[in-house]
Amino acid sequence: MKKINKKILLSVAILFTVGLFGSIVVFAAGPATVNLGTAGNFAILSKAGITDVPTSVITGDIGSSPITGASIGVTCAEVTGNIYSTNAAGPLPCRITGPSLLTTAVSDMEAAYTDAATRTPAVGPNLNIGGGTVSTQTLAPGLYTWTTPVDITGDITLSGSATDTWIFQVNGTLTIDAGKNIILTGGAVPENVFWQTTQTANLMAGSHFQGNILSQTDIAMRSGATLTGRALAQTEVTLIANTISIPAGFTPTPAKATLNIIKTVINNNHGVKNASDFTMNVTGTGVSSSSFPGAGSPGTTITLDAGAYSVDENLDSGYTKSLSADCSGTIASGEDKTCTITNNYIYTTSSSGGGSGVTYGCKDPTATNYDYFSSSKPSLCKYAVVASVVTPTPTTTTTTVVSIPKLPKTGFAPKEENIPWYKEISYLIINWFK
């Protein structure tokens, strides 16, 4: 029996597969990507602040949490994007107060660090390259591990396609020497490169770094150093006239904004209404429900787009109405605002003849008679019970309105888990003949 020619069979398999399903997909090389979650929206994200010696040039959002916005030393003029802070401190007009967004982003950053750090360590040629001194190597997609600090003393090249992934695990400091470069070739992109380090990441003067830095401590950039990627630090980030650019192909994940509506009803004397008795009106782009009873129940949610909005309430003749400044205006993606609506019961006054003269009093809205307690008109009519004044405890209910901006979906490159089953079969057929 003649031997089957594998090249002929391979050609037939390719023609059969292409005929049925279209073009062949080339699989990504290297490990599965590290999911940055909402931390991927930031060019710089830290937990302990961002210091800066001007002038730096940053493309992408920056933020710090849980430390306050006073710890962010970067000016709006240096940032093409937004500066998120946990409070009203921080530079204007680009500052957005977004504690909820930052809490989530920092949590995602920590999860991404843990993911990268706990991947099964490399063995063989990918373990402890150069004993921690790396220079002039060309590295294919894959996972690389060092049990020592790493010092990049010469240019290194990462060669692969736009769907390939690199993960570098460093136990200790990560340093790239002055004037040295990380070079990407073959279509490799910085968003698929992850540098996990247990200690400081040092980018020395004039160096050029590429990829996502996940540091368990700080990231220190020296004079003129540049980064194409992200600086994600669990302590601080320090800048000295640096250039940082979030990867150009990245599309941010939409961040929800939160508008908290706090409703307070003060029932001084005979007031009987609760927060849910009032009808609230919310206007804005894409509002799912423009009107709903007062506060409904705590945590009631409606949806609107980021942008202009207004919160108001139908007037009740028995109560005054007071709205705080943030009950109207604009809300940005990821921003937190609080609107407070306060109602005070209006004391109904009347006069009546008889006896020694005119007296004044208060009326319970559910009663038919007035209760009198003074022969002269008081500044505020208080309901009297045996010569004592009763002031009930205010009723407070909170409603949350969540604003979800309509932005594009995340731009992370698809990985193997998104490849249709028939393309996987094609891949297996082709490789069987190799």
156, containing H or E segment: strand 156-159
**CA 78 – CA 124 distance, rounded (Å):** 44
8: pLDDT strictly greater than 70: no
Q: Which domains are assigned to the chain?
A: 37-64+100-245 (no CATH), 257-347+388-403 (2.60.40), 349-381 (no CATH)
Average pLDDT over residues 270-282: 76
The answer to whether residues 186 and 204 touch, using CB atoms and an 8 Å cutoff, is: no
Percent share of the chain, pLDDT over 70: 68
SS3 112: helix
pLDDT reported for residue 302: 67
Write out the DSSP string of 217-252.
S-EEE-TT-EEEEEEEESS-EEEES-EEE--TT--P
> Using the 8-state DSSP alphabet, how is residue 174 labeled?
E
Q: Which residues of 223-234 are buried (b: 16+ CB within 10 A; e: fewer)?
A: ebbbbbbbbbbb
pLDDT reported for residue 309: 87
Q: What is the pLDDT of residues 10-25, one digit of tens each?
A: 444 444 444 444 444 4
Q: What is the pLDDT of residues 364-395, one digit of tens each?
A: 444 444 443 344 444 333 333 222 233 444 44
Average pLDDT over residues 124-147: 97
131: pLDDT strictly greater than 90: yes
Backbone φ/ψ region at 294: left (φ over 0), alpha (ψ -120 to 50), beta: left
CB proximity list for 247: less than 8 A, separation 6 or greater = 189, 190, 191, 228, 229
pLDDT reported for residue 345: 74
| Single pTM value for the model | 0.72
225: pLDDT strictly greater than 80: yes
For residue 2, what are the CA distances in angstroms to 9, 155, 434? Answer: 14, 53, 19
For residue 4, what are the CA distances in angstroms to 7, 11, 171, 433? Answer: 9, 13, 51, 11
> Using the 8-state DSSP alphabet, how is residue 92 labeled?
T
343: pLDDT strictly greater than 90: no
- Which residue bears the tokens 């009032």? 278
SS3 404: coil
Q: What is the pLDDT of residues 29-64, one digit of tens each?
A: 999 999 999 999 999 999 999 999 999 999 999 999
